[in-house]
């Protein structure tokens, strides 16, 4: 491990350094500059961190020992320093870090200091290699420059590309070009996609004010020529072709402004990405074809490193953009890979599941509530998906609505899954409260209306009971009493039976029923109860053909209520038509009951199945709502259509059944 020397008299600083760096460095702590001097002389120190609050002549001490080779110097300063004071300490140390200390801040400062030291060391090494390269052979003939230092610079640029610092990468490359090629001026144009122009991103030998103002548009001569040709543009060759091409003429003028004699295109994916401009060599010698060819190849390697940085920042931007969306989403988002390991767990998911993302990222779905883990396994292993699936976990106190989908690559292979969570507990509570309120309202309305309906028969019964004492021996009164009271009591009984059937679940005993026979019996019983026979009945069906699996008694009641409603709607002489036919390949039976009554207003057709829909003639009508309930319990449907002054048609659809041997 490397050795770090810490010079401080502060226990707080010592604890901060120890907790942040003890896993990477052997830390030697002293409380004075003098003790630090002894260790510098005797130990192989890699890094020295100095607390500026230490007593003693720190400035002169630093000046004396600052030049110790291969040592990183870190200044520890208080956070309340002014910007001017902070800049002063930047001149004394490689890097500074302010208190209070944190592990993340310490590591970031050390990484930055190490990179700076590596740059200085490599540039120093490159300059040394450049000086050592022979420029002239024994016969006085100039030999081509060795590009080994520049190649090393390009290799090093890949290391800096990994740190994604574009300015550092460009400066390293331009310094290497200056040192190795021996050029007096160099500039690098970089494509600015936002403004659609090429601007100077780095230069040597150009006035800064001039470099900051210069740019090349897409239709400039240099850009057009280099983009089209993809090869090096040389001003000495360009002069030969001046009279032949206008674009080349324009390019030559632009090169003069840039004080450049060579422009090297740096291409990526067939597009001009950068332009490297070189002035003449300091020695005045011309560039050989070999030199320019090597520069062309190395420059494009360098351009690839720049593109890697661009791609990295683009991915970072997209990741940050997606992260902001996830953070602001009103739904919880969980994504997993094909190993069911959690990749994304957004803040809303943390809130809903009461778990922290930091404790779950990288762990398997088994770390989540069992109901959620089960959905993830089904999504990834069985490639199932679900939408608006309700998940209730009493143990976790959860009531969620979940969407689950698989994630697939371009080849269609499953690479993971995503779950969208929405906490619907509040919605469910509100729905229950609303339902409870509606039930209370229904109960209040039902009680009120039923009280009115029960009062009328009871008034008649009470009146006759009061008269009975005085007229008990009146034979005519006895007959009238018996008939009236019996009828009113029957009305009460029927009303209460309907109410009980409507409110409570009905127990059904299913069997095979002949619908033709059942309708015949229902018609006969209804007409008998009405004590009327002056209606015309048209029956378009034949018994023995259509059979259903049903409760004979209950389905009989349903059609009796429908028939009663139809007969009540007609005046004597009205026509009732009953049709029966099979639909959908004999799987459904359609029964239509049409009357020629006065009809129902369009706005009231849907309300006839409301138990509180009343008419002056009938009062509370529970017959049709009860019929609808029984039919729907038999997996059927009932609908109504009506035309004023022409009549009403009720249509019933019910599934047919094939009888078993025992039921036939």
pLDDT tens digits along 161-216 = 555 678 888 888 888 888 778 888 999 999 988 888 999 999 998 888 888 888 99
Which residues, listed in sequence order, are joined to residue 579 by a DSSP beta bridge?
Answer: 540, 592
Helices (DSSP H) in 164-245: which residue ranges? 166-181, 208-213, 221-229, 235-240
* pLDDT band, very low/low/confident/very high, at 78 (cuts 50, 70, 90): confident
- Reference 129, options 110, 153, 112; nearest CA is 153
Q: Which H or E run includes 256? A: helix 246-257
Say if residue 236's pLDDT is above 60: yes
Task: Say what the pLDDT of residue 621 is.
Answer: 60
Going by their DSSP bridges, the two strands 575-583 and 25-30 should be labelled as: unpaired
Q: How far is CA 374 from the centre of its chain?
A: 20
Same domain assignment for residues 32 and 159: no
**Residue 415 domain boundaries:** 330-421
CATH of the domain at 293: 3.30.450.40
Q: Report pLDDT for 91.
A: 76
Q: Which of 462, 486, 503 is the last residue of a domain?
A: 503
- In this prediction, residue 274 carries a pLDDT of 93
Domain at 448, CATH number: 1.10.287
pLDDT at 495: 67
- Cα 538 to the center of its chain, rounded Å: 63
Q: How many Cβ atoms are within 10 Å of 25's Cβ, its own excluded?
A: 20
- Mean pLDDT, to the nearest integer, of 39-66? 79
Domain check: are 576 and 480 in the same one? Answer: no
Q: Is the pLDDT of residue 130 over 60?
A: no
Same domain, 444 and 589: no
- CA dist 134 and 305 (Å) reads 30
Q: Where are the alpha helices (DSSP H) in 22-165?
A: 33-42, 58-65, 83-90, 103-132, 148-163
Residue 548: pLDDT over 50:
yes
The answer to whether position 588 is within a domain reads yes
> Is residue 662 a part of any domain in this protein?
no
Q: Is the pLDDT of residue 145 over 80?
A: no
pLDDT at position 135 is: 43
Name the residue among 323, 369, 321, 373 with its Cα closest to residue 348: 323
pLDDT in tens, 188-200: 999 988 888 999 9
Same domain, 525 and 482: no
Tell whether 308 and 359 lie within a shared domain.
no
The number of domains in the chain is 5
Single out the residue in 503, 523, 553 at which a domain terminates. Answer: 503
- In eight-state DSSP terms, residue 546 is -
Question: Is 244 a domain residue?
Answer: yes
Task: Enter the tokens of residue 587.
Answer: 């799987």
The CB-based long-range contact list for 475-479 (8 Å cut-off, 24+ gap) reads: none
pLDDT reported for residue 458: 72
Last residue of a domain, one of 283, 312, 341: 312
Segment 323-340, tens digit of pLDDT: 788 778 888 899 999 999
Residues 392-420 have a mean pLDDT of 83
Range from 76-90, 458-472, 520-534 carrying the lowest mean pLDDT: 458-472
194 and 304 inside one domain:
yes
Q: What percent of the chain has pLDDT over 90?
A: 17
More confident residue, 351 or 427: 351
CA nearest neighbour of 491 among 595, 630, 622: 622
- Backbone phi and psi for residue 282, each to the nearest 5 degrees, phi listed first: -60, -35
pLDDT at 276: 95
Q: How far is residue 120's CA from residue 484's CA, in Å, rounded to a whole number?
A: 117
463 and 499, same structural domain?
yes
Cα separations in angstroms, 327 against 135, 324, 348, 441: 61, 5, 7, 43
Would you call 283 helix, strand, or coil by DSSP? coil
Give the closest residue to 276 by CA, choosing from 192, 173, 362. Answer: 173
Q: Please determine, for residue 72, whether its predicted confidence score (pLDDT) is greater than 50.
A: yes
| Higher pLDDT among residues 154 and 387, named by residue | 387
* Nearest CA-CA partner of 618 in 449, 445, 487: 449
**Domain assignment present for 661:** no
Helix, strand or coil, per DSSP, at residue 24: coil
- Other Cβ atoms less than 10 A from the Cβ of 656: the count is 16
CATH number, domain with residue 24: 3.40.50.2300
| Residue 103 predicted with pLDDT over 60 | yes
Tokens of 598: 């006065």
pLDDT attached to residue 613: 60
Mean pLDDT, all residues of the chain: 80
Residues 527 and 630 in one domain: yes
Residue 317 lies in a domain: no
Q: Which two tokens stand for residue 383?
A: 């490639």
- pLDDT per residue as tens digits for the range 600-659: 888 777 777 776 565 544 444 667 888 888 899 898 999 999 988 889 999 999 988 754
Taking only the tens place, the pLDDT of each residue in 420-457 is 998 887 777 777 777 666 656 665 666 666 666 666 67
Backbone φ and ψ for 138, nearest 5 degrees, come out as: -65, -20
Q: Is 438 helix (H, G, I), strand (E, B) or coil?
A: helix
Closest residue by Cα to residue 524 from 539, 510, 544: 539
Q: Are residues 488 and 522 in the same domain?
A: no
Are 249 and 297 contained in the same domain?
yes
Task: Give 528's contacts (C-beta < 8 A, 6+ positions apart).
Answer: none
With respect to residue 464, please indicate whether it lies within any of the assigned structural domains: yes
Residues above pLDDT 70, as percent of the chain: 79
Same domain? 90 vs 203: no
What's 590's domain CATH number? 3.30.565.10
Question: In this predicted structure, what is the pLDDT of residue 604?
Answer: 78
For residue 241, tell me if it sits in a domain.
Answer: yes
Work out the pLDDT band at 41, boundaries 50, 70, 90. low
Torsion of CA 61, 62, 67, 68, to 10 degrees: 70
Q: Does residue 386 register a pLDDT over 50?
A: yes
* Residue with tokens 């090096």, as numbered in its chain: 232
CA–CA dist 609, 625 (Å, integer): 5
Average pLDDT, integer, range 498-514: 75
10 pLDDT exceeds 60? yes
pLDDT band for 591, please (50, 70, 90 cuts): very high
Q: d(Cα 371, Cα 582) in Å, to the nearest integer?
A: 45
* Tokens at 314, concatenated: 């683009």
Q: Which among 429, 414, 427 is positioned nearest to 384, based on CA atoms?
A: 414
- Identity of the highest mean pLDDT range in 5-14, 55-64, 78-87: 5-14
- 28 within 8 A of 4, measured Cβ to Cβ: yes
pLDDT recorded at residue 42: 62
The dihedrals phi and psi of 47, each to the nearest 5 degrees, come to -150, 140
Residue 642's CB: how many other CB atoms inside 10 A? 20
Give domain status of residue 65, yes or no: yes
How many residues are given for the chain?
A: 664
Q: For 473-491, write each residue's pLDDT tens digit.
A: 777 777 777 777 777 777 6
Q: For residues 268-295, give the mean pLDDT.
A: 87
Please tell me whether residues 228 and 281 are part of one structural domain: yes
């Amino acid at each position: 491990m490397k050795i770090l020397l810490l010079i401080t008299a502060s226990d707080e600083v010592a604890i901060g350094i120890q907790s942040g760096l003890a896993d990477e460095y052997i830390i030697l702590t002293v409380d004075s500059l003098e003790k630090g001097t002894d260790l510098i002389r005797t130990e192989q120190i890699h890094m020295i961190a100095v607390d500026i609050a230490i007593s003693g002549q720190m400035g002169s001490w630093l000046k004396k020992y600052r030049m110790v080779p291969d040592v990183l110097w870190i200044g520890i300063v208080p956070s309340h320093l002014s910007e001017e004071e902070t800049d002063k300490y930047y001149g004394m140390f490689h890097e500074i870090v302010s208190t209070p200390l944190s592990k993340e801040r310490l590591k970031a400062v050390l990484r930055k200091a190490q990179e700076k030291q590596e740059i200085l060391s490599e540039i120093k090494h490159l300059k040394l290699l450049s000086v050592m390269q022979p420029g002239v052979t024994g016969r006085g003939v100039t030999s081509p420059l060795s590009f080994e230092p520049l190649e090393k610079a390009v290799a090093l640029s890949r290391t800096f590309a990994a740190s994604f610092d574009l300015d550092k990468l460009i400066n390293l490359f331009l310094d290497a070009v200056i040192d190795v090629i021996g050029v007096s001026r160099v500039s690098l144009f970089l494509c600015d996609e936002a403004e659609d122009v090429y601007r100077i991103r780095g230069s040597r030998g150009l006035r800064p004010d001039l470099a900051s103002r210069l740019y090349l548009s897409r239709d400039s001569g240099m850009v057009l020529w280099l983009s089209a040709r993809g090869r090096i543009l040389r001003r000495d060759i360009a002069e030969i072709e001046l009279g032949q091409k206008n674009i080349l003429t324009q390019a030559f003028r632009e090169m003069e402004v840039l004080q450049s004699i060579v422009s090297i295109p740096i291409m990526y994916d067939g597009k001009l990405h950068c332009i490297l401009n070189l002035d003449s060599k300091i020695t005045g010698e011309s560039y050989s074809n070999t030199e320019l060819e090597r520069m062309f190849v190395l420059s494009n390697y360098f351009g690839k490193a720049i593109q890697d940085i661009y791609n990295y920042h683009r991915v970072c931007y997209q990741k940050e953009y997606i992260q902001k969306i996830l953070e602001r989403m009103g739904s919880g988002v969980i994504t997993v890979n094909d190993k069911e390991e959690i990749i994304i767990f957004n803040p809303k998911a943390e809130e809903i599941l009461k778990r922290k993302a930091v404790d779950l990222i990288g762990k398997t779905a088994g770390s989540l509530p069992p109901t959620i883990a089960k959905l993830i396994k089904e999504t990834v292993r069985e490639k199932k998906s679900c939408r608006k699936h309700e998940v209730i976990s009493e143990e976790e106190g959860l009531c969620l609505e979940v969407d689950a989908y698989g994630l697939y690559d371009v080849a269609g292979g499953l690479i993971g899954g995503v779950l969208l969570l929405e906490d619907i507990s509040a919605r469910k509570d509100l729905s229950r409260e609303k339902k409870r309120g509606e039930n209370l309202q229904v109960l209040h309305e039902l009680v009120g209306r039923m009280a009115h309906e029960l009062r009328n028969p009871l008034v008649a019964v009470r009146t006759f009971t009061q008269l009975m004492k005085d007229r008990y021996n009146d034979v005519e009164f006895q007959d009238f009493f018996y008939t009236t009271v019996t009828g009113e009591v029957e009305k009460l009984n029927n009303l209460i039976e309907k109410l009980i059937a409507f409110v409570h679940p009905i127990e059904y005993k299913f069997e095979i029923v002949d619908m033709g026979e059942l309708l015949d019996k229902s018609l006969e019983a209804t007409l008998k109860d009405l004590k009327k026979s002056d209606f015309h009945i048209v029956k378009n069906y034949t018994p023995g053909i259509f059979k259903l699996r049903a409760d004979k008694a209950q389905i009989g009641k349903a059609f009796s209520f429908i028939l009663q409603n139809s007969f009540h709607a007609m005046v004597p002489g009205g026509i009732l038509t009953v049709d029966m036919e099979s639909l959908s390949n004999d799987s459904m039976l359609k029964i239509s009951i049409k009357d020629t009554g006065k009809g129902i207003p369009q706005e009231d057709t849907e309300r006839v199945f409301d138990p509180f829909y009343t008419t002056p003639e009938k009062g509370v009508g529970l017959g049709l709502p009860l019929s609808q309930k029984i039919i729907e319990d038999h997996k059927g449907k009932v609908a109504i259509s009506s035309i004023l002054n022409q009549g009403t048609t009720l249509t019933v659809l019910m599934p047919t059944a094939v009888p078993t041997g025992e039921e036939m």
